[in-house]
């Protein structure tokens, strides 16, 4: 069994039979309230029934001022140095928040991140030693357990650090057009899902909610954040990817690509922040089903992207399609598979 992270807050043993769950997703001056009337479990398999959506403002944490709501995470101010970061069950694809929530997704994301933060303990990260009960009580504490952490405030670096070890997704599309990704030339005749000769750093802009991230070249990245910081992030991100990929392969998981976010502390040190190596930030493939030249089955939200883009042929414009219960169920199963394979129980 893999060692559990020291900061693991996953301690939710109550049954979900006939349990009602409410989660939220943000919009302009309102939040979507998603009711899941019933969740059944059988041998840790979560079954979702009767999903509905209402649009009105709701906030599960009221004792702390909410300072930001992103596509998935909500941030609450504690003081000048630290804040509460809560991972919701919202699902975002194509930089758009979908109408339905994925039950326990926020807990899964947080616990997977904590696992990797612990494994990558030689990389400075944003976690603190404070406990949730130092700042929350009652129903707020109950909601936050497992899905929230107390983190240090940082100055975010305004780019996303993407590392690709395999040719897939938008990277493959760029390669077919230009023979390169973010200006990095690659060998000819590579196929979809093929392993690259070496991991490459392909930064992107960090878009606001509703906008789309855009791939940029190394020179563009240097123009935004400076050459020294760009090179430091490139080296650190590739180092993390290589170390994590080695462990993941032992668990039957291929990390095709992943996205990191960094910040700077008061001393100007580079700090790994937000989430790390989760199904939301990474493309995870099942090693047993990996075949070059295909779109390998994944343990991440690519499954939902494929449903929206390939099956529904959604043009990524309003109205946002609803996700049927079967798609939500399969998404829950895929996220939970990573929890099981990493031994986070």
> pLDDT per position in the chain (345 positions), as tens?
333 333 333 233 333 333 333 333 333 222 334 333 333 333 333 333 333 333 323 478 999 999 999 889 999 999 999 999 999 999 998 888 999 999 999 999 999 999 999 999 999 999 999 999 999 999 999 999 999 999 999 999 999 999 999 999 999 999 999 999 999 999 999 999 999 999 999 999 986 655 667 899 999 999 999 999 999 999 999 999 999 999 999 999 999 999 999 999 999 999 999 999 999 999 999 999 999 999 999 998 888 998 999 999 999 999 999 999 999 999 999 999 999 999 997
Using CA of residue 59, residue 60, residue 66, residue 71, what is the dihedral sign?
A: negative
Distance CA(244)–CA(211), nearest Å, equals 30
Q: What is the pLDDT of residues 130-156, one digit of tens each?
A: 999 999 999 999 999 999 999 999 999
The answer to the question of residue 218 being in a domain is yes
Total of domains in the chain: 1
Distance CA(47)–CA(339), nearest Å, equals 17
Distance CA(83)–CA(202), nearest Å, equals 30
Domain at 208, CATH number: 3.30.470.20
The answer to the question of residue 71 being in a domain is no
The answer to the question of residue 260 being in a domain is yes
What pTM was estimated for this model as a whole? 0.83
Identify the CA nearest to 94 among candidates 295, 330, 318, 324. 318
The answer to the question of residue 195 being in a domain is yes
The answer to the question of residue 36 being in a domain is no
The answer to the question of residue 137 being in a domain is no
Q: Taking CA 102 as the corner, what is the angle to CA 262 and CA 121, rounded to the nearest 5 degrees?
A: 30
- Asked if residue 147 lies in contact with residue 136, where contact means CB atoms within 8 angstroms, the answer is no
**For the chain, first and last CA: distance in Å?**
10
- Asked if residue 237 lies in contact with residue 161, where contact means CB atoms within 8 angstroms, the answer is yes
The answer to the question of residue 22 being in a domain is no
pLDDT confidence of residue 208 = 64
Identify the CA nearest to 314 among candidates 99, 137, 128. 99
The answer to the question of residue 209 being in a domain is yes
pLDDT confidence of residue 110 = 98
Residue 278 Cα to chain centre, angstroms: 5
pLDDT confidence of residue 41 = 35
pLDDT confidence of residue 149 = 98
Full residue range of the structural domain in which residue 296 is found: 156-304
- Asked if residue 337 lies in contact with residue 344, where contact means CB atoms within 8 angstroms, the answer is no
pLDDT confidence of residue 94 = 86
Give the three-state DSSP class for 107: helix
| Radius of gyration from C-alpha coordinates of the chain | 20
pLDDT confidence of residue 133 = 98
């Amino acid at each position: 069994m893999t060692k559990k992270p020291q900061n693991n807050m996953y301690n939710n043993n109550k049954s979900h039979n006939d349990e009602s769950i409410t989660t939220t997703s943000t919009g302009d001056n309102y939040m979507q309230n998603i009711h899941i009337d019933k969740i059944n479990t059988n041998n840790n398999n979560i079954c979702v029934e009767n999903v509905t959506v209402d649009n009105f403002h709701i906030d599960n944490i009221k004792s702390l001022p909410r300072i930001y709501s992103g596509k998935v995470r909500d941030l609450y101010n504690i003081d000048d140095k630290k804040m509460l970061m809560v991972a919701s069950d919202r699902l975002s694809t194509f930089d758009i928040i979908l109408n339905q929530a994925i039950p326990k997704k926020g807990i899964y994301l947080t616990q997977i991140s904590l696992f990797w933060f612990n494994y990558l303990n030689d990389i400075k990260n944003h976690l603190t030693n404070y406990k949730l009960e130092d700042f929350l009580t009652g129903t707020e504490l109950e909601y936050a357990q497992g899905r929230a952490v107390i983190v240090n405030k940082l100055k975010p670096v305004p780019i996303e650090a993407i590392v690709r070890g395999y040719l897939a997704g938008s990277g493959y599309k760029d390669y077919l057009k230009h023979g390169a990704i973010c200006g990095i030339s690659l060998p000819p005749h590579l196929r979809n899902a093929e392993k690259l000769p070496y991991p490459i750093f392909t930064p992107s802009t960090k878009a606001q909610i509703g906008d789309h991230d855009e791939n940029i070249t190394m020179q563009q990245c240097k123009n935004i954040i400076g050459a020294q910081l760009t090179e430091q992030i490139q080296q650190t991100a590739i180092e993390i990817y290589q170390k994590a990929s080695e462990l993941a392969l032992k668990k039957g998981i291929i990390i095709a690509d992943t996205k990191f976010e960094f910040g700077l502390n008061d001393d100007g040190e580079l700090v790994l922040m937000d989430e790390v190596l989760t199904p939301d930030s990474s493309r995870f493939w099942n090693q047993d089903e990996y075949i070059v030249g295909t779109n390998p089955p994944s343990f991440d939200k690519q499954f939902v992207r494929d449903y929206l883009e390939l099956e529904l042929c959604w043009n990524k414009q309003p109205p946002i399609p609803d996700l049927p219960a079967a798609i939500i169920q399969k998404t829950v199963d895929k996220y939970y598979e990573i929890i099981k394979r990493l031994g986070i129980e």
